């Protein structure tokens, strides 16, 4: 293996000279196109992973690696990202949509040979929610009953007679749901289906802040006993060794689609408790996926090999995957051209190379992506605590020019991506028209959201700044506090280019030159989360599942993951109402109202909906440009017969691959047959 690493390092230094002098316009493939001699995929994965603990990282670069190392109840379909059977071979959902029962395979094992049981999933879910772990992705599980209360260090309120205060007595519009009679009767099932208990913060300061706003609540909890919510209270249960049950607080139509996320992938309790924070070191780590860790050289390469103990090992095609940690686009493009790597992650082809790369129809993947790029405001620090200032900076960006500059994106002014959820977009348009009439906003002004420097200047003047008007609706803001503001982005050539473009836009349209700052990914994420920045930061979001809720949920709750500091209970209430609605159309109407309401406060600047924009060699099969660029690696294989290589990958999502389709059919058969039996077919 050392020889491979040395070769890779040498290529990264020398390949530019090898490739720049060669004209490839007349060739079918871009650069050297020969399958590797070994059964290995060499993949550029992006930034150095923050952690190999599946419940810690929030970034897409880590997610791709973690999908190779860990398995969950369900896996992403390689094309659609819909949930397909994994360790759970089948499942059923209660009629009210609040309970899921998963039936696990009996041959699933960890990489050390330990059997995987329902108890391991109970441990995994509870661990991810443990406030001591401080997992930023814990909010993904908040639909599970009492999950948020446990993760947020809250308490039940017990009266003198031993009974508990109930949430329904303080929230008149709360819809009570229960699934009594669904699945086996157990003591825990009876408990979890009791009316939902009220929870309040354990922290005295937070609790006081809450009850000061609600005199009725203050009176109700006065003198009562506070009982901390425990891990054992969360709605997850091992009915037996191979039957796992989830209980949600309210129906969540998208929840099954969420479960392939790495946060829910099973981990080994014994190993974690033995090694503590050191459990992910190469000499200690135990995983549950199709591959296991062989070597990790930070900022260089992470190598995984096929896990012989994996329950579906016979259908794992690759012997090894080499994940290379690279962010510099030109380096990875030249490595790809030299044949040193077989595929890259998304958004990696530099804009200046696109015209050339697009010629290679068998390799360049330009498909819709469930992702957006946007900038956040720190709404808790001046001057961005003023909504007029936030709106001015948003309106002073010409998004159409930005999309033209980027070449692989569409302009965006809403927070959900364009072209991914067509039914929602259709309903949102209708809802917005009604809300605009109610708000007195003209259609003409609304359509100028993409770029309106004249209104941006008026807003800055309204906010109290000295504004000198210029030609074409532009202006110069004289007394803006430049020293209190910066635009911070995580290090990459692409992010730098966008930041410089937008910096120029603000200079041109507002006369303000915003300083730029860049940070390494591992530092950038916690900085944004803690609101430890001034002004704006770069952000991008890849949907965790195929539903608009995955974007809007970023603003849900007082400690949300928007990185803005913005929180509004009215928004939360609208989203709760939407996700309690069983009628899909009415649900989307409520979600559209929530999106409109949030955007009126402008805590973010939506910029663009991206496309996948990456490359793979035609001999790499089963690696699809799905909307999240998240790959179920066991479907990937190396095809050595050139006659079977991919052709015209614009159509790759429509074409059928017999090898992949056979694997999918076998995996899905158990759930399909189970559904037929349930419905008496």
pLDDT for residue 543: 84
User: Which of residues 565, 584, 611 is at a domain's end?
Assistant: 611
pLDDT for residue 481: 96
Residue 579: band (very low, low, confident or very high) from pLDDT cuts 50, 70, 90: confident
The H or E element containing residue 538 is: strand 535-542
What letter does residue 166 receive in the DSSP assignment?
Answer: B
pLDDT for residue 544: 79
Could you tell me if 584 and 441 lie in one domain? Answer: yes
Residue 20: band (very low, low, confident or very high) from pLDDT cuts 50, 70, 90: very low
Are 334 and 353 spatial neighbours (Cβ–Cβ below 8 Å)? no
- Report residue 264 as tokens: 């829910």
Could you tell me if 392 and 307 lie in one domain? Answer: no
pLDDT in tens, 614-637: 999 999 999 999 988 999 999 999
- Which residues form the domain of 135? 82-264
pLDDT for residue 133: 97
Between 679 and 581, the more confident residue is 581
Residue 558: band (very low, low, confident or very high) from pLDDT cuts 50, 70, 90: confident
Q: Give the least confident one: 160-164, 212-216, 264-268.
A: 212-216
Q: What is the mean pLDDT of residues 173-180?
A: 64
User: Which of residues 264, 299, 314 is at a domain's end?
Assistant: 264
54 in a structural domain: no
Omega prior to 259 cis, within 30 of 0:
no
Q: How far apart are CA 667 and CA 681, in angstroms?
A: 20
37 in a structural domain: yes
Could you tell me if 223 and 128 lie in one domain? Answer: yes
pLDDT for residue 474: 97
Q: What is the mean pLDDT of residues 117-126?
A: 98
- The angle that helices 493-510 and 453-462 make with each other, rounded to 10 degrees, is 70
φ/ψ (deg, to 5) at 673: -65, -35
Q: What is the mean pLDDT of residues 586-601?
A: 97
Percentage of residues of the chain with pLDDT beyond 90:
81
Could you tell me if 622 and 603 lie in one domain? Answer: no
Could you tell me if 516 and 424 lie in one domain? Answer: yes
Look at phi and psi of residue 350 and say left if phi exceeds 0, alpha if psi is from -120 to 50, else beta: beta
Could you tell me if 316 and 429 lie in one domain? Answer: no
Could you tell me if 412 and 538 lie in one domain? Answer: yes
Q: What is the CATH number of the domain that holds 325?
A: 3.40.190.10
DSSP secondary structure, 301-360, as one string: EEEEEE-TTSTTGGG---SEEEEEE---HHHHHHHHHTTS-SEE-SS-S-GGGHHHHTT-
Q: What is the CATH number of the domain that holds 435?
A: 3.10.105.10
Q: What is the CATH number of the domain that holds 245?
A: 3.90.76.10
Q: What is the mean pLDDT of residues 310-319?
A: 96
Residue 10 has pLDDT above 60, yes or no: no
Percentage of residues of the chain with pLDDT beyond 70:
95
pLDDT for residue 174: 63
Q: What is the mean pLDDT of residues 118-134?
A: 98
pLDDT in tens, 137-162: 998 999 999 999 999 999 999 999 99
- Report residue 131 as tokens: 């406030």
64 in a structural domain: no
pLDDT in tens, 641-654: 999 999 999 999 99
Residue 9 has pLDDT above 80, yes or no: no
pLDDT in tens, 389-431: 999 999 999 999 999 998 888 899 999 998 788 899 999 999 9
476 in a structural domain: yes
Distance set, CA 412 to CA 206, 664, 674 (Å) = 37, 35, 42
Total domains, the chain: 3
List the Cα angle 83/89/91 in 5-degree steps: 70
The C-alpha R_g of the chain, in whole angstroms, comes to: 26
Could you tell me if 650 and 673 lie in one domain? Answer: yes
The average confidence (pLDDT) of the chain is 92
276 in a structural domain: no
pLDDT for residue 83: 95
- Report residue 610 as tokens: 């991206």
pLDDT for residue 681: 59
Could you tell me if 303 and 180 lie in one domain? Answer: no
656 in a structural domain: yes
pLDDT for residue 175: 65
63 in a structural domain: no
Could you tell me if 587 and 527 lie in one domain? Answer: yes
List the Cα angle 3/38/42 in 5-degree steps: 70
Residue 251: band (very low, low, confident or very high) from pLDDT cuts 50, 70, 90: confident
Residue 193: band (very low, low, confident or very high) from pLDDT cuts 50, 70, 90: very high
pLDDT in tens, 22-46: 433 348 999 999 999 999 999 999 9
Could you tell me if 588 and 624 lie in one domain? Answer: no
Residue 176 has pLDDT above 80, yes or no: no
- Taking Cα atoms as reference points, which of 618, 617, 398 lies closest to residue 507? 398
User: Which of residues 563, 580, 611 is at a domain's end?
Assistant: 611
pLDDT in tens, 275-298: 999 999 999 999 999 999 999 999
pLDDT for residue 21: 38
Omega prior to 383 cis, within 30 of 0:
yes
Could you tell me if 161 and 90 lie in one domain? Answer: yes
529 in a structural domain: yes
């Amino acid at each position: 293996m050392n020889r491979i690493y040395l070769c890779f390092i040498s290529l990264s230094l020398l390949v530019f000279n090898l490739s720049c002098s060669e004209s490839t316009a007349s060739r079918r493939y871009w650069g050297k196109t020969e399958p590797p001699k070994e059964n290995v995929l060499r993949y550029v994965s992006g930034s150095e992973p923050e952690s190999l603990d599946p419940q810690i990282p929030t970034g897409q670069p880590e997610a791709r690696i973690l999908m190779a190392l860990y398995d969950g109840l369900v896996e992403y379909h390689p094309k659609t990202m819909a949930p397909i059977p994994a360790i759970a071979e089948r499942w059923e959902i209660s009629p009210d949509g609040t309970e899921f029962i998963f039936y696990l395979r009996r041959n699933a094992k960890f990489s050390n040979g330990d059997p995987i049981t329902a108890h391991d999933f109970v441990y995994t879910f509870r661990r991810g929610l443990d406030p001591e772990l401080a997992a930023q992705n814990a909010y993904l599980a908040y639909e599970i009953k009492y999950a948020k209360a446990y993760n947020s260090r809250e308490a039940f309120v017990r009266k003198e007679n031993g009974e508990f205060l109930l949430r329904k007595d303080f929230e008149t519009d709360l819809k009570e749901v229960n699934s009594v009679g669904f699945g086996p009767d157990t003591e825990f099932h009876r408990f979890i289906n009791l009316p939902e208990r009220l929870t309040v913060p354990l922290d005295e300061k937070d609790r006081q802040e809450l009850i000061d706003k609600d005199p009725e609540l203050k009176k109700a909890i006065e003198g009562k006993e506070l009982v901390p919510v425990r891990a054992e209270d969360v709605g997850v249960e091992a009915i037996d060794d191979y039957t796992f049950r989830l209980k949600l607080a309210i129906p969540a139509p998208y929840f099954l689609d969420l479960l392939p996320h790495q946060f829910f992938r099973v981990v080994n309790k014994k190993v974690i408790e033995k090694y503590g924070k050191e459990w992910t070191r190469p000499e200690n780590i135990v995983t549950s996926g199709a591959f296991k860790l062989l070597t990790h050289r930070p900022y260089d390469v992470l190598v995984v090999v096929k896990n012989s103990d994996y329950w579906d090992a016979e259908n794992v095609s690759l012997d090894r995957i080499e994940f290379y940690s690279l962010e510099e686009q030109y380096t990875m493009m030249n490595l790809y051209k030299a044949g040193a790597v077989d595929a890259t992650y998304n958004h990696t082809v530099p804009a200046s190379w696109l015209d050339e790369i697009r010629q290679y129809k068998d390799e360049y993947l330009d498909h819709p992506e469930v992702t957006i790029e946007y900038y956040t405001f720190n709404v808790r620090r001046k001057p961005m605590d003023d909504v007029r200032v936030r709106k001015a900076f948003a309106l002073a960006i010409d998004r159409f020019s930005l999309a033209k500059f980027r070449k692989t994106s569409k302009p965006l002014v809403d927070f959900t991506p364009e072209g991914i959820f067509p039914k929602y977009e259709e309903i949102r348009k209708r809802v917005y028209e009604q809300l605009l009439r109610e708000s007195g906003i003209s259609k003409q002004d609304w359509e100028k959201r993409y770029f309106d420097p004249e209104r941006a200047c008026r807003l800055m003047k309204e906010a109290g700044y000295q504004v000198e008007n210029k030609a074409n609706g532009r202006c110069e803001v004289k007394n803006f506090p430049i020293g209190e503001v910066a635009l911070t982005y995580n290090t990459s050539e692409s992010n730098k280019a966008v930041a410089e473009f937008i910096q120029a836009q603000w200079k041109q349209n507002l006369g303000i030159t915003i300083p730029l700052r860049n940070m390494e990914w591992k530092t950038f994420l916690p900085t944004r989360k803690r609101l430890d920045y001034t002004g704006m930061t770069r952000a991008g979001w890849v949907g965790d599942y195929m539903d608009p809720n995955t974007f809007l949920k970023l603003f849900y709750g007082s400690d949300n993951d928007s990185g803005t500091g913005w929180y509004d209970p009215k928004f939360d209430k609208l989203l709760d109402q939407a996700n309690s609605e069983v009628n899909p159309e009415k649900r989307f109407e409520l979600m559209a109202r929530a999106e409109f309401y949030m955007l009126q406060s402008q805590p973010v600047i939506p910029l663009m909906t991206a496309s996948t924009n990456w490359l793979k060699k035609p001999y790499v099969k089963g690696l699809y440009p799905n909307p999240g660029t998240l790959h179920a690696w066991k479907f990937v294989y190396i095809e050595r017969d050139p006659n079977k290589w991919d052709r015209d990958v614009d159509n790759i999502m429509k074409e059928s691959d017999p090898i992949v389709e056979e694997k999918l059919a076998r995996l899905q058969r158990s759930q399909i047959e189970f559904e037929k039996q349930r419905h008496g077919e």
